[in-house]
Amino acid sequence: MSLSWIDILVICCYIIAIVSVGFYLSKRATKNIDTYFLGGNKIKWYFLGLSNASGMFDISGTMWTVAILFVYGLKSAFIPWLWPVWNQVFVMIFLAIWMRRSNVMTGAEWILTRFSGRGGKYSHIVVISFAIISVIGFMAYFFEGIGKFAIMILPWDLTADLGFMTLTSAQSYALIIIGITTIYTLKGGMFSVVAADVFQFAIMTISCLIIGYIAFTSVTAEQVSALTPAGWDNLFFGWKLDLDWGELMPALNTKIASDGYDLFGALVMLMLFKGIFASLAGPVPSYDMQRILSTRKPSEAAKMSGFTILVLFAPRYLMVAGLAVLSLVYLSPELVSMGANVDFETILPMAITRFVPTGLRGLLLAGLLAAFMGTLAAFVNSAPAYIVNDLYKKYIKPDAAPKTYVRFSYLASIILVVVGVIFGFYAKSLNSLTLWITSSLYGGYAAANVLKWIWWRFNGFGYFWGMTAGLVSSTVKLVFFPEIADIYLFPLILLFSFIGCIAGTLLTEPDTDEVLMKFYKNVRPWGFWKPIREKVMKEDPGFEANKDFGRDVVNVITGIVWQMSLVVLPIYLVIHNYKAFWITLGIIAVTMTILKFNWYDRLKYADKGYENR
């Protein structure tokens, strides 16, 4: 691709600015590990919300989303439920409040507020293991995505013969970009990550508006209709997908079959089943949880999560819809000519190459690099906290100087990045990595992390064996059954994990009343806590139990509808379906009104009895 000097200047200025931010904030961030990993709990919730949104706006995920919208049309809005994408709603409504009340630094440290004794120690170690494994998987995912993206949009051939191996141009680009991201993240810690993310989010929003405008003014509804099969523009579905690309682009029928999505009704039912468990489990120990723990108080943790949903989905899907529709109308003949060799994950960079004018191209490329770097930076900042705070500080050097922990954080970050990159060299495709991370690996996480909230008898041994059974099951699936779509084995992995949870719990003694009462009184979850609740109320007659289960259920359902509406609204706009656009806008107004009175106005009660560190 040919870049003008303006495009190159914009990209270079962005890279220089982002690295400078890290060095500028390094002195403030490296006082101790609390400021390095959590910003000292002094960062405003709306900045953390923008940072969280920027961290979810990654290139790899955007490439995948553009590809599935191109193939599946409006029904592709359901496919991200594989993550499940609406776990953020559960976090916004109640889980962020529960987590922030703990006053800890990491998800592993949080576990020790819930479980005691040897079982607590085992559960602590397994959470650290899960955090490290999942982060390595995500880094491999990023490496694969940024390589595919860079080689399509950047003009230089960076193929390198190292003697013992030959780096492709895509791999060289990926290594350079990951290296730059790691440098500014190491220097500035959480302050650097959030400051860069806010800047990156502004760039990405401008880029989204530009792409959306180009698509809206360049493509008509008739053009989209002529180049897509019947049902492509319909959000609703039956038991089968019933999208036949045979006369338009036969390779897409092959892709649908290989993805395993033909029985779309069954797929959505499985995603709902998985989504409820995975969302109730709470965020996995990564950057999302780190943002929650970085807020100043519980109510702000909830506001931060809600703000993330509000600012993320509509801008992102405006760009996704714009690029997918431009590709459908103007790249279809070229894609058809590729036959079975077409790689749909390269639609994003192909569209940018063809449709974004010189000058704006540099801004968009800087924005997409910003999105990638923001997501990677979030992982580079969050994962080492588990190694430094939960392993090195707790078990090896509990009395080391604060600067020692920060320096060890640098080393932990570098090691994790290197290992993630090594795994990235062997990644088969974005889709395979996405499905393994979201369906198999997270399947092993859900059972134990649901029970930890809602069942008083569940103990550290149950947590350890449940997580271990899930991790082993997901690994067995990856090694021995790679050809089966991961989502279809999620119920089986979940079952093995539940068996491990129940057996490990019932075959061992309960946790001590002291730990359980302190946890219940501090976090105040709803669920099966009657024996502990009675003991807490006997000790403190003025204690008020959580009676918001029904309200939370209503708010979660409302929140999912709100979030889904934010996803499809820009798609309807870009394809010129104005009737659906105005209906969706009305749904957004109604759901936000309900949430205003039934959720936001009640956040003032979330901080009752809470004292910050």
DSSP state letter for 95 = I
Q: What pLDDT, on a 0 to 100 scale, did the predictor assign at position 612?
A: 45
The residue ranking higher by pLDDT, 504 or 63, is 504
The yes-or-no verdict on residue 284 having pLDDT over 80 is no
Tokens of 296: 């100043």
Mean of the pLDDT values across residues 7-30? 69
Tokens of 504: 């490990």
Closest CA to 332 of 306, 354, 363, 362: 354
> How would residue 537 be classed by pLDDT, with cut points 50, 70 and 90?
very high
**Can you give the residue ranges of every domain in the chain?**
5-441+546-605
Q: What pLDDT, on a 0 to 100 scale, did the predictor assign at position 613?
A: 39
Separation of alpha carbons 506 and 560, rounded Å: 35
Separation of alpha carbons 519 and 452, rounded Å: 11
Separation of alpha carbons 369 and 149, rounded Å: 10
Listed ranges 43-47, 152-156, 393-397; the one with the highest mean pLDDT: 43-47
The label of the residue with tokens 């602590």 reads 124
Separation of alpha carbons 45 and 301, rounded Å: 7
> How would residue 25 be classed by pLDDT, with cut points 50, 70 and 90?
low
Q: What pLDDT, on a 0 to 100 scale, did the predictor assign at position 27?
A: 56
DSSP assignment of 368-399 equals HHHHHHHHHHHHHHHHHHHHIIIIIIIII-TT
The yes-or-no verdict on residue 31 having pLDDT over 60 is no
The yes-or-no verdict on residue 153 having pLDDT over 90 is no
Mean of the pLDDT values across residues 501-528? 93
* Distances 103 to 34, 83, 141, 409, 411 between C-alpha atoms, Å: 11, 27, 31, 21, 26
The yes-or-no verdict on residue 309 having pLDDT over 80 is yes
The yes-or-no verdict on residue 436 having pLDDT over 60 is no
Backbone angles phi, psi at 153, to 5 degrees: -115, -20
Listed ranges 83-97, 113-127, 550-564; the one with the highest mean pLDDT: 550-564
Task: Judge whether 423 and 447 are in contact, CB under 8 Å.
Answer: no
The yes-or-no verdict on residue 604 having pLDDT over 50 is yes
Cross-strand partners of 332: none
User: Structurally, what CATH architecture does the domain formed by 5-441+546-605 represent?
Assistant: Up-down Bundle (1.20)
Task: Express each pLDDT in 453-486 by its tens digit.
Answer: 999 999 999 999 998 888 788 778 767 777 776 6
List the Cα angle 188/111/131 in 5-degree steps: 50
Task: Express each pLDDT in 95-129 by its tens digit.
Answer: 999 988 877 767 777 888 889 888 888 888 888 87
Read off the amino acid at residue 216.
Answer: F
Separation of alpha carbons 32 and 10, rounded Å: 35
Cβ density class 295-329: b for 16+ within 10 Å, e for less = bbbbbbbbbbbbbbbebbbbbbbbbbbbbbbbbbb
Listed ranges 255-269, 273-287, 370-384; the one with the highest mean pLDDT: 255-269
| Poorest-pLDDT segment among 88-92, 189-193, 350-354, 464-468 | 189-193
Task: Judge whether 298 and 606 are in contact, CB under 8 Å.
Answer: yes
Read off the amino acid at residue 246.
Answer: G
The residue ranking higher by pLDDT, 183 or 610, is 183
DSSP state letter for 301 = H
Closest CA to 145 of 379, 432, 411, 466: 432
Task: Judge whether 447 and 455 are in contact, CB under 8 Å.
Answer: no
The yes-or-no verdict on residue 91 having pLDDT over 90 is yes
The residue ranking higher by pLDDT, 509 or 247, is 509
DSSP state letter for 235 = S
Closest CA to 86 of 276, 269, 234: 276
- Measured from the Cβ of residue 411, the count of other Cβ atoms closer than 10 Å reads 14
Q: What pLDDT, on a 0 to 100 scale, did the predictor assign at position 63?
A: 75
Separation of alpha carbons 499 and 582, rounded Å: 48
Q: What long-range pairs does 541-547 form, CB within 8 A, spacing at least 24?
A: none
Task: Express each pLDDT in 392-430 by its tens digit.
Answer: 787 788 787 777 877 787 788 888 888 878 777 766 554
Tokens of 217: 């003014």
The label of the residue with tokens 């009305």 reads 586
Tokens of 7: 């495009």
